Amino acid sequence: MDVSIKNQVSAEMQRMFIEQGKVKGYLAKGNHVLLAISGGVDSMVLLDLMLAAKKEVAFSLGVVHINHQLRLESADEAAYLKAYCQERKIPFILETWKEPATKGIEAAARAFRYHTFAKIMHTDGYQVVMTAHHGNDQMETILMKIVRGGQLGTFAGIKESQRFSNGQLIRPLLSFGKEQLYEYAAEQKLVYFEDQTNQELNVQRNRIRHLVIPQLKQENPQVLAHFQRFAQQITWADQLIKKQMKKVIEEQVKETHDGFVFPWRVVQEMSLEERYYFLYTLFDWANRKTNLFINEQQIDQLLEQVDRPKGQWQLTLDRSWVFQRVYEEIALVRKNDVENEPVEIIDRFIEIEPHKQIILNEKAWVGLFTPDEVAGFRFIDDWGEFSHDVWLEPQQTLFIGKRQAGDRIQLNEKLTKKVSRYFIDKKIPDLQRKDAWVVKDEQKKIISLLPFTYSHLSIGVETDKIHYILLYKYQKEATGRRT
């Protein structure tokens, strides 16, 4: 290919990148931007594009590199990046993972990276952190989510922009494919490093990357662009459906002293797909006012039930709520005639099942949900809420119970402290100590101390594991609040 034509290709990528950044606001005058640079082709292209953008937009730029010490080449790569940035007068931060995990390495490494990014943003005043996720990453993520299953909105893939630490996490390369990045790097004569662990097929993402996606590209070379469009369409469709169903709910559903009620004709006149999204949106809306959560299987049961000609029926949803039809009305109401005793937990631990809630006592309940399930949850007026992210293997289990003598919690990478000492240091009153719960993993290591803090072990980011949110709700003491 003619050199001038090749240069035109790079120039076009730069033009698109800069124009996109200006329109979306993350390439703006005065912005303080932190680039997460691994040294791979993706991040080196991102760095080069940002240097090109800096010639047009007056923002400040810094680079952070994490040396995970997992490969022999790591030190040489870090040294190259440091020299590269110093030559171009780019502030460079090198962080070393000094105590690599012996298992769950990928998740632990990513947790350390994002924890480091957040810390630097906070201490050094960066408003934006950028990572080099690209269009192929988006395609891999969508395929992984389809395999795992979920609601419509979960299939939208990687977000281009989201809140993070004290600012934003931006992924500006999602509109570019991996092959484009390699072409750009070749034209600009960029030096980059290949991580051979990305070839290992014991990781789900790598299997999809090397075994599934090449087959899809053989079927249609434009499949990457189609997946990018699919992600956008899914996002728009989910937003549109929720908007329309919200309008129906606001017009037809009335809140009563013990629940919610609406005319049976509302669902009778709907098609099957309308009923599904009406019920899904109804329960999502109800979650903002109650502690009720239902799963996909229960929605399927309701779809079967509402179509039956019987004038009266009742379906129990959990210990506290029933969904019932009484002739021309359908209601979601609290059970008045069924005991709703909390789970008795004294000297034992019980399993926290994903997608379910556990009523611990009259003052507290806990649940393990996906981010999409927990979205929109609101605690009732006199109840507090404590939650944090948890990343679990498909068969991994968590347990909840009361703290035991000698229990310890890892508060950061280096600091492990007895729970009793934590309470003393934080000056937590005795009554609140008695009300506290601990969540442990299968190795009996504490993941959470509810509702006060969570372990460094629970920190995770995008990974081959399943992303959950551990949600704890509790009745606040009238005499004070939790610290």
- Measure the CA–CA gap between 141 and 136, rounded to whole angstroms: 9
371: preceding bond cis by omega (within 30 degrees): no
Please name every residue paired with 469 in a beta bridge, in sequence order, or none if there are none.
369, 389
Q: Tell me: is residue 406 an annotated ligand-binding position.
A: no
- Is 40 annotated to bind a ligand? Reply is yes
150: Cα separation from own chain's centroid: 13
Q: For residues 391 and 343, is the Cβ–Cβ distance under 8 A? A: no
**Residue 43 assigned to a binding site:** yes
- Please state, in angstroms and as integers, the Cα–Cα distance from residue 264 to each residue in 220, 281, 303, following that order: 47, 17, 13
Q: How far apart are CA 192 and CA 83, in angstroms?
A: 14
Q: What is the DSSP letter of 313?
A: E
379's tokens: 């605690």
Burial class (CB in 10 A: 0-12, 13-18, 19+), 337: exposed
Residue 179 contacts residue 1 (beta carbons within 8 Å): no
Output the six-digit token pair for 443: 């190795």
- To the question of whether residue 41 is assigned a binding role by annotation, the answer is yes
Query: To 5 degrees, how large is the angle CA 6–CA 8–CA 12?
Result: 125
Give, in order, the Cα–Cα distances in Å from 168 to each of 62, 117, 121.
15, 11, 10
Q: Binding site residues for ATP, as ranges?
A: 38-43
Q: Binding site residues, as ranges?
A: 38-43
